[in-house]
Amino acid sequence: MNQKNKTEISRRSFLQVTAGAIMLSGISLPESANAAKSEGLATIIDLSLCDGCVNRKIPACVSICKEINKNKIPLPVEPIPEPWPRKMIEDWSKKQEVFDRLTPYNFIYVHRAEVNFAGRKKTIYVPRRCMHCENPPCATICPFSANHKFKNGAVVINQNQCFGGAKCRDVCPWEIPQRQSGVGIYLHVLPGFMGNGVMYKCDLCFDRINQGQLPGCIEACPREALLIGAKKVIQAVALERVRRMKGYIYGMEQNGGTSTLYISPVPFEEINKTMTKKSGQPDIKMNVPRRMAGTDPLGKMVLAAPVLGLAAAGAAGAWKWFSRRKEKMNKKEGENG
Amino acid sequence: MAEKILTQKNLVVRHSTVELIEHWAIAVSGLVLLMTGIFELPVAKRYYIITIPGLGWTADFITSLYLHYSAALVFTAAAVFHVVYHTARGEFGLLPRKGDFSASIAVIKSMFGFGEEPPMPKYLPEQRLAYAGMAFSILMLIISGLVKTYKNIYAPDISHTVVLWTTWIHNIFFVLFFLAFLAHMAAIALKPNWPLVRGIFTGRVRLAYARHRHPLWLADIEQKSGGTEIDKTGQAAGVETQQENAPSTREKRR
């Protein structure tokens, strides 16, 4: 019942700030989000609405995310096996309360940005979590395919399949996934030599979406700063809001496009100036190319390689046939004198 | 048919230029694939490989992917070429035959001084078995690799079940391919096989070696050529070999 009320509030509030029939569908509604699962979901994080929950100890989105995922990670083994030869244990199990950065126990945090823009000082709050990219390198080149992008747009790490090599963090432009050592399947294989735990990050509340519920952060946001819906609708809404507020958008182009669209009344370059990229605290720079895009032309040639081999075999066969025919003819001519 | 006895040079042509190109294209690209496949695992930083001069790039998975794709292009095209070209020419000498397994054991035992090696055709029975194993690994690697490449470019959200199957097939056959490569190298280390090393670089092996170990092959060449490609001395040698091994040759054909 509570869920239903919240959903209705979401819809009403949304209708107050946006207009048009297109926006009626697929925004912050579990049913619509559910229906849009096959075509893909996207989210809006509207920085003009987010106030960082300054009146709360922990922002609502962070708080509910922690609550939903509090039992996700099993207790790490004691002692945590020391990886060889580089000894790099990452153990957050005794610092689970941390909420001002990404950790295996904290999938979202809110950055406070004091920005000078158009001669005015402005405070902007930026919730940061996985962007759920269109073609996420973290998932596509996971060596065990433990990380996968699903039809509904959520990029999800299966903690039962992940070895914690942190390759996903290395290829993520924002270095979002965070490692907890001492848990996971690697403990049952060669813990000293292979793997180092499990990578954790926001999964867009994959299970809740599948059950027809909203992601926790979206449901809990008291200011409706976060929205979810069918990707096309969300993109249209984001662009419309940006147009109305003469604002700025982030996430449409970055890393080849993402399913998370930030909209802001101030340029992201200004927000980025307040961010220093640190472990668990990503920046928000504008120029984020999808590095794997450079490999796509070669990959397409690989897909065409069987045809290339076939053509080469045909050419070699034809060459051999003509050579032999010529040889025979020369021989015949020689015999005829 | 490139196979030819060059009696004056005391050599036998074992591989054509096309076959040499095929072999080395698959070997070199396969090695690059093995290396870059390893570097697609998060090992370069952990095992300090990046500290080795010239290998600083190994921790960059995208750079490894460029190299992996480049090698996969050559590897896949060469493998398809190999199958189509030799099928079209009816060349199936490397395919396993009935009895290869027990014959392989006899050959391997003879290498360690237990018993005599029976007269051989062009390829040894264990070579044919190894070829089948290697070819199957390559086939599985190519199919799973193509699916993974397609996913990387066009469909990151294809079925997770499909992705998991292809990934694990790729990973398992990567290990088998690596073991097959080690076995291939180990075979070269055995003294009786040393004369074959020359063959895979130049396409030719010594006639004395072929006469001693592959008499059935020489008999086959002589029969096919009808003596026309062999000089006078070679014909004499060929007849000698053919007479000695005529029953075996007939047996093989039957």
Question: Strand pairing of B11-13 and B204-206?
Answer: antiparallel
H helix count then E strand count, chain A: 10, 10
Q: What share of chain B is helix, strand, coil (3-state, %, to 5)?
A: 70, 5, 25
Q: What ipTM goes with this model?
A: 0.89
Query: What's the pLDDT at B117?
Result: 86
Query: What's the pLDDT at A324?
Result: 87
Query: What's the pLDDT at B112?
Result: 82
Minimum Cα–Cα distance from B166: chain A residue: A145
Q: Which of B149, B160, B171 sits opposite A148 (nearest CB)?
A: B160
Interface test with B, best of A302, A328, A335 (most B CBs within 10 A): A302
Could B62 and A144 be called an inter-chain contact, meaning their C-beta atoms sit closer than 8 Å?
no
Q: How far is B97 from chain A (nearest CA, A)?
A: 26
pLDDT at A15 over 80: no
pTM, two decimals, is: 0.88
Confidence bin at A38 (pLDDT 50/70/90):
low
Domains (ranges, CATH) in chain A? 3-331 (3.30.70.20)
Do the beta carbons of residue A220 and residue A63 sit within 8 Å?
yes
Amino acid at A259: S
pLDDT at A299 over 80: yes
Name every chain B residue with its beta carbon within 8 A of the beta carbon of A302. Answer: 69, 72-73, 76, 145-146, 149
Q: Give the Cα separation of A277 and A296 in Å (integer).
A: 28
Interface test with A, best of B51, B73, B165 (most A CBs within 10 A): B73
Higher pLDDT, A324 or A288: A288
Mean pLDDT of all residues in chain A?
Answer: 90
Q: How far is A284 from chain B (nearest CA, A)?
A: 22
| Whole-Å CA distances, A11 to A15, A215, A226 | 6, 15, 12
Amino acid at B231: D
Tens-place pLDDT, residues B115-156: 888 899 999 999 999 999 999 999 999 999 999 999 999 999
| Whole-Å CA distances, B16 to A314, B2, B12, B218 | 17, 5, 11, 16
Q: Which of A135, A294, A320 sits opposite B156 (nearest CB)?
A: A135
A150 CB within 8 Å of a chain B CB: yes
Could A306 and B42 be called an inter-chain contact, meaning their C-beta atoms sit closer than 8 Å?
no
Q: Which of B84, B149, B171 sits opposite A309 (nearest CB)?
A: B84
Q: How many CB pairs under 8 A join A and B?
A: 130
Name every chain B residue with its beta carbon within 8 A of the beta carbon of A291. Answer: 62
Query: What whole-number percentage of chain A has pLDDT above 90?
Result: 82
Do the beta carbons of residue A308 and residue A294 sit within 8 Å?
no
Q: Give the Cα separation of A54 and B239 in Å (integer).
A: 99
Q: What share of chain A is helix, strand, coil (3-state, %, to 5)?
A: 40, 15, 45
pLDDT at A124 over 90: yes
Mean pLDDT of B188-212: 94
Tens-place pLDDT, residues A156-170: 999 999 999 999 999
DSSP H helices, chain A, are 2-17, 30-35, 60-68, 137-140, 167-171, 206-210, 216-220, 231-245, 268-273, 296-335
Confidence bin at B230 (pLDDT 50/70/90):
very low
pLDDT at A245 over 50: yes
Q: Which of A136, A151, A309 sits opposite B77 (nearest CB)?
A: A309
A85 CB within 8 Å of a chain B CB: yes
| Whole-Å CA distances, B44 to A176, A256, B49, B57, B227 | 21, 27, 5, 9, 58
Mean pLDDT of A128-144: 97
Q: Which of A83, A171, A308 sits opposite B77 (nearest CB)?
A: A308
Could A303 and B149 be called an inter-chain contact, meaning their C-beta atoms sit closer than 8 Å?
yes
Tens-place pLDDT, residues A52-73: 999 999 999 999 999 999 999 9
Nearest C-alpha neighbor of A268 from the set A245, A290, A250, A242: A250
Mean pLDDT of B160-185: 97
3-state SS, A165-223, equals: CCHHHHHCCCCCCEEECCCCHHHHCCCCCCCCCEEECCCCCHHHHHCCCCCHHHHHCCC
pLDDT at A6 over 60: no
Question: Strand pairing of A41-46 and A260-264?
Answer: parallel
